[in-house]
């Protein structure tokens, strides 16, 4: 499991009950109902960060800009490489991306997923698929 701290935060708008709320979930998941909403929810995911009219990003906190860039980078990586397939061969962890390309040990995806895969190996899983970062 990906830890909560790694979960991206999304802002949702329900047009049925006019409620806005925040939700944490994986990038590849999508909510279709607001928890506790008794109407036919019509949820709309709104960008986590307000689109800034001022392109220089003035007035936006540095931390927010960094977070936004990380988020964008993650989406890029996800589009480019995921789902990934991994397996242990001769004691070595092999990771292939969606196009079946073997990723080097220095590849960002490899270093990102290494801990996750090592945990799986600890639970006696020696191959698997991972759909998102």
Binding site for Zn ion (CB under 5 A): 14, 16-17, 34, 37, 39, 41
Please say which residue, 39 or 44, places its beta carbon nearer to Zn ion: 39
Whats the size of the chain, residue-wise? 133
CB 91, CB 58: distance < 8 Å: no
Please say which residue, 33 or 107, places its beta carbon nearer to Zn ion: 33
**Residue 93 forms beta bridges with which residues?**
88
Please say which residue, 20 or 127, places its beta carbon nearer to Zn ion: 20
| 83 preceded by a cis bond (ω within 30 of 0) | yes
Please say which residue, 36 or 63, places its beta carbon nearer to Zn ion: 36
CB 130, CB 83: distance < 8 Å: yes
Distance CA 126, CA 120 (A): 7
């Amino acid at each position: 499991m990906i830890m909560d701290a790694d979960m991206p935060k999304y802002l949702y708008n329900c047009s049925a009950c006019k409620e806005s709320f925040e939700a944490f979930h994986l990038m590849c998941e999508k909510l279709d109902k607001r928890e506790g909403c008794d109407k036919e929810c019509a949820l709309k995911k709104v960008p986590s960060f307000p689109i800034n009219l001022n392109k220089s990003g003035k007035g936006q906190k540095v931390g927010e800009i960094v977070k936004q860039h990380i988020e964008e980078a993650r989406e890029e990586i996800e589009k480019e490489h995921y789902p990934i397939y991994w397996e242990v061969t001769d004691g070595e962890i092999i990771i292939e991306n969606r196009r079946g390309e073997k990723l080097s040990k220095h590849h960002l995806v490899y270093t990102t997923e290494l801990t996750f895969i090592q945990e799986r190996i600890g639970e006696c899983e020696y191959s698997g698929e991972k759909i998102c970062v």
